[in-house]
Amino acid sequence: MSVKKDIIIIGGGASGLFAAIKAKENNPQKEVAVIEAQNRVGRKLLSTGNGRCNLTNTACSKTHYHGSFRKYVDTVFELCSVDRVINEFMKLGLMTKVEDEGRVYPVSNHAGSVLDVLRFRLEALGVEITCDTKVNDIKNKNNNFYVSTNNGELICEKLIVCSGSCAAPKLGADSGIIKNLKELGHNITPLSPALCPVRVKSDLLPSLKGVRVESKVSLFDGESLIKEEYGEVQFADNSLSGICVFNLSSILKKVRKPFVIIDLLPYFDKRYLKSIILKNKDIFNNLNIENLFTGIFVKKLGMAILKQAQVLPFSRRINSITVEEIERIVDVVKNWKFEALKSNDFSRAQVVSGGVVGNEINPYSMESAIMKNLYICGEAIDIDGDCGGFNLQFAFASGIIAGENV
Ligand SMILES: Cc1cc2nc3c(=O)[nH]c(=O)nc-3n(C[C@H](O)[C@H](O)[C@H](O)COP(=O)(O)OP(=O)(O)OC[C@H]3O[C@@H](n4cnc5c(N)ncnc54)[C@H](O)[C@@H]3O)c2cc1C
């Protein structure tokens, strides 16, 4: 037998929990229910910001977003700005603070505080939360939604989809509902991992594993510069990682011939770098060349640079390095080129690029433009933000707007 509810929210994550609060606050007499596949709500939220939850960013604007909904995101933030999200949380009892680059965190430094204030408000409002219940199918008949789950069927007049997408499947992420939205008539842009390490081709990577260096990283399509970022690059077995690399990963799918170029000393020009190397040549002249970068880079990195520049063998004395070799070394330090590989591995991605196309959602209400009483929020939509709180800002803002308009 089917169970009737007034408003159903699929997914008890970032957008779903706020959508449920607002839906109930605005419709206190109606039955509002959250259906969550996992054994508890907000599992992913607990892992955000390395367990501290970077919940928004004071520098939020469309420049930090990608995807077909990007052109509507400023409208969403006019209705629900960063200040408003912070204020909504404050009303729930959460104190926040602003850190470097506008990143906002709870003062407790604990993602659990963010989830707790949302949960306690839902409890106080009397929103029904059903966990361990996965939605397998959605049908729309006679102006009602029929929501089939592993625990039976539910019927509702208004449905808010907050089921996220498939980034970080270990935390329960699943894109099944996006397929259902396609069956209901929505167009979906292909899903690909974003905010993730970028796999690159290089035999030298294993020897650099664990090395971190403040750099400028640039994404090129063949010879054309697409985007550059500053920050700490982390070298892993077969990939480059770090926030600056994550921010390039989001646009990788659009690039035909992707290359990542690293400038390992972005604040020094080539001429100055050459003079530094000549100075080191003098200071360390009798040592083996593997010590050339003493005082500049960790030894592993210095040795990899020399290998890449083909200045070998390491047993040579530093005073044997030629002017031509110094040119090659400087070129590697300032322009180390890696061929990048596109990936379909969602396991290390923080978000997904792709989803329901932007022009099929009304940014003033988050209602579907092709089906009345269906609302879509958060990562299920074709929009993804840079690292730094931009994704949760969109998830919370879209959830708040949907809940207020349902
Ligand atoms: C490790 C990690 C760290 C991150 N850190 C940050 C950060 O610090 N700042 C930031 O801005 N962003 C961060 N993000 C991204 C951010 O968490 C997401 O963009 C955001 O949670 C998306 O919100 P959402 O409501 O769309 O989806 P989610 O928060 O993923 O919620 C979706 C919910 O729906 C449920 N669900 C899915 N399918 C079904 C189904 N069929 N039936 C029932 N329930 C279903 C899921 O179990 C889940 O609980 C991080 C992501 C990861 C993986």
For the stretch 12-23, pLDDT in tens is 999 999 999 999
Q: How do residues 60-75 score in pLDDT, each as one tens digit?
A: 999 999 999 999 999 9
Please tell me the predicted confidence (pLDDT) of residue 172. 85
Ligand 1 centre from 162 Cα, in Å? 9
**C-beta of 138 in contact with ligand 1 (< 6 A):** no
Cα–Cα distances (Å) from 257 to 238, 252, 261, 373, in that order, read 18, 9, 13, 42
Q: pTM for the full model?
A: 0.94
Residue nearest to atom 51 of ligand 1 (CA): 350
Name the pairing type of β-strands 198-201 and 336-341.
Answer: antiparallel
**138 vs 119: CA distance, rounded Å:** 26
CATH of segment(s) 270-334: 1.10.8
**C-beta of 388 in contact with ligand 1 (< 6 A):** no
Residue nearest to atom 38 of ligand 1 (CA): 163
Q: How do residues 125-155 score in pLDDT, each as one tens digit?
A: 999 999 999 999 999 999 999 999 999 999 9
**C-beta of 44 in contact with ligand 1 (< 6 A):** yes
Residue nearest to atom 29 of ligand 1 (CA): 13
**C-beta of 135 in contact with ligand 1 (< 6 A):** yes
Please tell me the predicted confidence (pLDDT) of residue 323. 94
3-193+349-405 classified as CATH 3.30.70.1380: no
Please tell me the predicted confidence (pLDDT) of residue 343. 83
**Best of 8, 41, 44 to mutate for ligand 1, by most ligand atoms within 8 A of CB?**
44
Domain locations in the chain as residue ranges: 3-193+349-405, 198-266+337-341, 270-334
**C-beta of 176 in contact with ligand 1 (< 6 A):** yes
| Closest atom, ligand 1, to C-alpha of 390 | 11
Two domains, one topology: 3-193+349-405 and 270-334: no
Please tell me the predicted confidence (pLDDT) of residue 192. 93
| Regions of the chain with pLDDT less than 50 | none
Ligand 1 centre from 348 Cα, in Å? 13
**C-beta of 36 in contact with ligand 1 (< 6 A):** yes
Q: How do residues 20-40 score in pLDDT, each as one tens digit?
A: 999 999 999 999 999 999 999
